[in-house]
Chains A and B, each alone.
Chain A
Amino acid sequence: MNSPEELFATPTDTNADTDALARLHRKLEQAAEEEGLLDVAYRTVDSPVGPLLLAATARGLVRVAYDVEGHDRVLDTLASRLSPRVLRAPKRLDPAAQELEEYFDGRRRRFDLPLDLSLSKGFRLLVQQHLPEIGYAQTRSYRQVAELVGNPKAVRAVGTACATNPLPVVLPCHRVLRTDGTRGDYVGGPAAKTTLLNLEAAA
């Protein structure tokens, strides 16, 4: 005779259950959006610089994260800083995914997306807001960016603002180099910075 525990043991991952849960998840995403409960929607996309996490609030794109940042850790941070109502819901990210794909194909030079910069404050926010003024395939030094935002002595703070950019690629901190012309650090790692600069130079 089976014990009740054996009787109700979870069956080995039946495909039917997995399909049903995928379908129910999609329904939940849609209902959450309709009810205004989707505080943070996210998805991942593949790119020449590795998988990117994209997250958006109702206001706009709020976070782009490289694999090296640890997507789970980034999601934990979004849950604690914005709202724990975080759901994998690709639909809201469709426009961002589309524009990024065009960018990586060399068919887009400027992003036209609603952005939510609520993760940044003060001087960092100011610097990040000015980054799109550095045009496609151009570069500036940290010093030049400090001058651009009207605080020529804040070179190190510009470096910090770039390192904490919540929207890399979209806000092009990869176009900011060290004053001696070397690439300098990058939130996605130095190889990603090189890839983006080469992509823009070739397009």
Chain B
Amino acid sequence: MSTKQPFEKVVAEHGRTVLRVCRALLASHDADDAWSETFLSALRGYPELPATANVEAWLVTIAHRKAIDVLRSRKRQPVPVEEVTEAPATHGVPDADDADDGLWHAVRALPGRQRQAVAYHYVAGLPYAEIAQIIGGSTDAARRAAADGISNLRKNYPGGGPS
């Protein structure tokens, strides 16, 4: 009999990875919101999740939808949020993860599917077959999107390629 582990363990095991995925998709303040929405939604659906399910893929699927929601709501309110959310620590959260931030910034500059494929494969560690399920299209298309994303990243992110 497989029983489901306490949700707290899900947060402990996957919280950090999901936060990195959210940061690869969204600017930091929005990434926090997407994380919160993801785990609240996951908590709601958790009792119905089959005990054999791949929990990380499930969480990334939810984060994927939440990130799209956040981006859509940003487009509906055309305020210059990019500048604002990139500004350092206006509400007591020091951006000490600056070392990462350049990388996330470069990932966020990628076209949508490349960005998603890179985040879900290289940050979340999902296989391309799972990624294809999440973003649609074939497994090969997901693999190509990630490869294109990485080669674009090398052009734009100094740490990602030859100087």
**Interface residues, chain A, with chain B CB atoms under 8 Å away:** 1-2, 4-5, 7-8, 10-11, 14-17, 19-21, 23-25, 27-28, 31-32, 35, 37, 40, 42, 75-76, 78-80, 83-88
- In the assembled complex, the Cα of A88 lies from the Cα of B36 at a distance in Å of 16
Taking a contact as CB atoms under 8 Å apart, the answer to whether A24 and B159 are in contact is no
Please name 11 further chain A to chain B contacts, defined as beta carbons within 8 Å, in addition to the given A19-B93, A28-B11, sorted by A numbering: A2-B161, A11-B99, A14-B100, A16-B95, A17-B97, A20-B93, A21-B16, A28-B43, A37-B40, A79-B7, A84-B5
**What is the total number of residues of chain B having a CB less than 8 Å from a CB of chain A?**
39
- In the assembled complex, the Cα of A165 lies from the Cα of B149 at a distance in Å of 58
Shortest CB-to-CB span from B96 to chain A, Å, is 4
A-B contact count (CB 8 A): 104
- In the assembled complex, the Cα of A86 lies from the Cα of B10 at a distance in Å of 10
Taking a contact as CB atoms under 8 Å apart, the answer to whether A27 and B36 are in contact is yes
> Which residues of chain B are within 8 angstroms of A40 by Cβ–Cβ distance?
6
> Which residues of chain A are within 8 angstroms of B32 by Cβ–Cβ distance?
20, 24
Check A17/B44 contact, CB under 8 A, given A4-B150, A7-B122, A78-B6.
no
Shortest CB-to-CB span from B13 to chain A, Å, is 12
Check A28/B95 contact, CB under 8 A, given A20-B19, A80-B4, A87-B43.
no
> Which residues of chain B are within 8 angstroms of A28 by Cβ–Cβ distance?
11, 36, 39-40, 43
Taking a contact as CB atoms under 8 Å apart, the answer to whether A17 and B16 are in contact is yes
> Which residues of chain A are within 8 angstroms of B20 by Cβ–Cβ distance?
10
Taking a contact as CB atoms under 8 Å apart, the answer to whether A21 and B19 are in contact is yes
> Which residues of chain A are within 8 angstroms of B4 by Cβ–Cβ distance?
79-80, 84
Q: Mark B11-34, 1 if CB is under 8 A from A, else 0.
A: 100011101100000000000100
Shortest CB-to-CB span from A135 to chain B, Å, is 36
B103 within 8 A of A: yes
> Which residues of chain B are within 8 angstroms of A75 by Cβ–Cβ distance?
6, 8
- Minimum CB distance partner of B97 in chain A: A16
> Which residues of chain B are within 8 angstroms of A27 by Cβ–Cβ distance?
36
> Which residues of chain B are within 8 angstroms of A85 by Cβ–Cβ distance?
7, 43, 46-47
Shortest CB-to-CB span from A158 to chain B, Å, is 30
> Which residues of chain A are within 8 angstroms of B97 by Cβ–Cβ distance?
11, 14, 16-17, 20
B123 within 8 A of A: yes
Taking a contact as CB atoms under 8 Å apart, the answer to whether A7 and B160 are in contact is yes
> Which residues of chain B are within 8 angstroms of A11 by Cβ–Cβ distance?
97, 99-100
Shortest CB-to-CB span from A75 to chain B, Å, is 5
- In the assembled complex, the Cα of A79 lies from the Cα of B154 at a distance in Å of 46
Shortest CB-to-CB span from A197 to chain B, Å, is 33
Candidate in A1, A14, A25, A28 with the most chain B CB atoms within 10 angstroms: A28
Top 4 nearest A-B pairs (CB, nearest first) are A86-B6, A16-B96, A8-B122, A84-B4
> Which residues of chain A are within 8 angstroms of B118 by Cβ–Cβ distance?
4
Shortest CB-to-CB span from B59 to chain A, Å, is 13
- In the assembled complex, the Cα of A28 lies from the Cα of B162 at a distance in Å of 42
Check A79/B5 contact, CB under 8 A, given A20-B93, A24-B19, A25-B11.
yes
